[in-house]
Amino acid sequence: MENINKLTEILALCVPQLDPSPLRAAPPASTDRSDVLAWFANHLEQQGLLAYEEWKEYFGHVPALQSLSGIDFAGYDDGFIVSLIEDVDFPDAETAYTLQYELPFLEHINSILQPQGLRLVDLLPFENAYIFCVKDDEDQLRQLSKCLQAFDMDINERSAMNQQQAMARLGALLGNG
């Protein structure tokens, strides 16, 4: 359980407003990825620090996370990314389907969070998103990544992208850039 203790410690450093006491008090049943994921997700959800989203139903809204509650998102357009693909004629159904997993929704939100020293990340390698907020600290994120890798997980770091960068990313995804 040493790896669980390390993960708990780095989560306490990385995740704003996280109380690590419940994680320490009730460790996962085993160190199998499924048990660690359930432990991680349950504890963070109970503290309002994790949002589970199905990518096929996620269209760029700001996740309801306690750590984001005091941030002004008045200038954020949650429909911006979707507006960029509304009139795209996809070459095939597979491209349209897989694109949903690569759209820079969280990266665009992170452009608002960057001045606050925060960013949204999600866990890999899962089909759907386990989204949580972390401090925007590269060293801490490397440590978190390393701790998660012990359980065959990782984070998708989701670097900030303003509207121009998001448009360029989408162009590249569609083969236009």
Number of domain units in the chain: 1
**Token pair 């386990």 is at which residue?**
130
What residues contact 162, with CB distance under 8 A and at least 6 apart?
Answer: 108, 111
Q: d(Cα 132, Cα 84) in Å, to the nearest integer?
A: 25
What is the pTM (predicted TM-score) of this model? 0.93
**pLDDT value, residue 93:** 59
What residues contact 145, with CB distance under 8 A and at least 6 apart?
Answer: 154, 155, 157
> And the tokens for 32?
């199998």
pLDDT by residue, tens only, the chain of 177 residues = 899 999 999 999 999 999 999 999 999 999 999 999 999 999 999 999 999 999 989 999 999 999 999 999 998 999 999 888 887 776 665 666 677 788 899 999 999 999 999 999 999 999 999 999 999 999 999 999 999 999 999 999 999 999 999 999 988 887 775
Structural domain harbouring 105: 2-173
